[in-house]
Structure 1
Amino acid sequence: MSGEDWYGRDLSGQVFTGYSFFDTDWTEVVDDGGVFDRCTFANVRFNASRHTAAAFTNCTFSKCTFFDVKFADCKMVGSLFQRSTFTLLEVTGGDWSYVGLPGADLRGATFDGLRMREADLTAARLEKASVTGVDLSGAMLHGAKFHDADLRGSDLSSLDPLTADLRGATISLEQAAVLATALGMTVA
């Protein structure tokens, strides 16, 4: 699919396997339970689209725009995001394990109550983001910037506080103990 205008389409329940979408406008698309497996998205505009209980498994997103996009209870397992922009991104629930977001600019994004096990967030910018109740076990967080982020309730067991920017981040007492232990301290 190349150069198509899918503005406002309802993709609920549809299944796409191995499709490629190039220069496609997905502005205000509604997607309830759609399935996209091993699809490629390049220069796709997802602006103001809403995705609920949808699956984007093992997909590649290159130079895509995610402005005011909401993902609720979606499965993004194994997907890779390259050189994409994220403004006002909101993700609640779902499974984003093994997702690749290296170097992604996720400033101000909301990630709440989802699984991001072994996700690649290397050098990702999460300043002023809300990353609450997120399972980040095994995640790659080297060089990630969490300046002024809300991390309460998230699993920070794979976070090395010496390699990430945590200035001004909000964490719980339990998380403080995990980070102190990671620094080699004994918490008594």
Structure 2
Amino acid sequence: MPDTSQDPPVEDQRFFRDDWYGEEITGRHYTRCEFHEVDLSEAVTRNSTFTDCVFGNVRFNASRHADSAFTGCAFKRCNFFDAEFTGCKLVGATFRECELRPLRVTGGDWSFAGLAGADLRSAAFHGVRMREADFTGANCADAVFADVDLSGAMLHAVKLSRADLRGSDLSSLDPVNAELAAAIVSPEQAAVLVTSLGLRVRA
């Protein structure tokens, strides 16, 4: 289990099958560390930073993260079932073969995040900055993107059926190359999508 009584930076260490279930990780700093098969289920991170770390087969089930950073981190085959991120920074983080349902994100910066092909059905993003994030081929059906900055995001072949997109920047969305059946948008967003189709709206 991690020692949270002090917060010396930890660099270039490898953690294998550590049991951090339910741990409270506050003010910790990890750089270029590797975490493999670590159990972080129901763990809580606060004001902690993980920089250029690798997470493989890590369980984040029902974990809670507040004002923490996972910048440039790589997640592979990790489970985020019922995980929650509030005010966190995941700039440049990549997710491969991860279980991301149901994921809840409020605030924070996920710009340049790699979510290509991710299964984000019913995930909820509120007030998140996701500039130039990669959602290529991601399944976001029934998801919520409320007031999300998606400017410059890669949205080719993204599935947004029945998704609630109100308040989000959809300037990078090509409705011809996305699934939008029954998606919910505001009148202003509808005008943006119509314009992207080359149409002009006149009263």
SS in 2 for 1:95: coil
Find 1:132's aligned residue among 133, 146, 151. 146
2:195 maps to what in 1? 181
1:36 maps to what in 2? 50
Q: What TM-score do you get using the length of structure 1 for normalisation? A: 0.99
The list of structure 1 runs, each at least 4 consecutive aligned residues, that deviate by more than 2 angstroms after superposition, is none
Equivalent residues in 2 for 1:130-169, closer than 5 Å: 130-169=144-183
State the AA in 2 paired with 1:4.
D
Q: Is 1:115 the counterpart of 2:122 in the alignment?
A: no
Q: Deviations over 1:108-143 (max 9, x none)?
A: 000010100000000001100011100000000000
Query: CA shift at 1:35, angstroms?
Result: 0.2
Query: CA shift at 1:86, angstroms?
Result: 1.1
2:107 maps to what in 1? 93
Find 1:4's aligned residue among 6, 13, 18. 18
Q: Deviations over 1:130-175 (max 9, x none)?
A: 1110000000000000000000000000000000000000000000
Which runs of 5 or more structure 1 residues have no equivalent in the other structure?
none
Query: CA shift at 1:187, angstroms?
Result: 2.6
- Distance across 2 between alignment mates of 1:91 and 1:41: 19
1:50 maps to what in 2? 64
User: % of aligned pairs identical?
Assistant: 54
2:30 maps to what in 1? 16
Q: What TM-score do you get using the length of structure 2 for normalisation? A: 0.92
Query: CA shift at 1:18, angstroms?
Result: 0.5
- Distance across 2 between alignment mates of 1:167 and 1:39: 38
SS in 1 for 2:65: strand
Query: CA shift at 1:87, angstroms?
Result: 1.5
- Distance across 1 between alignment mates of 2:181 and 2:130: 22
- Please identify the structure whose Cα radius of gyration is greater: 2
Query: CA shift at 1:88, angstroms?
Result: 1.5
- Distance across 2 between alignment mates of 1:42 and 1:170: 35
Q: Is 1:83 the counterpart of 2:92 in the alignment?
A: no
Find 1:27's aligned residue among 27, 38, 41. 41
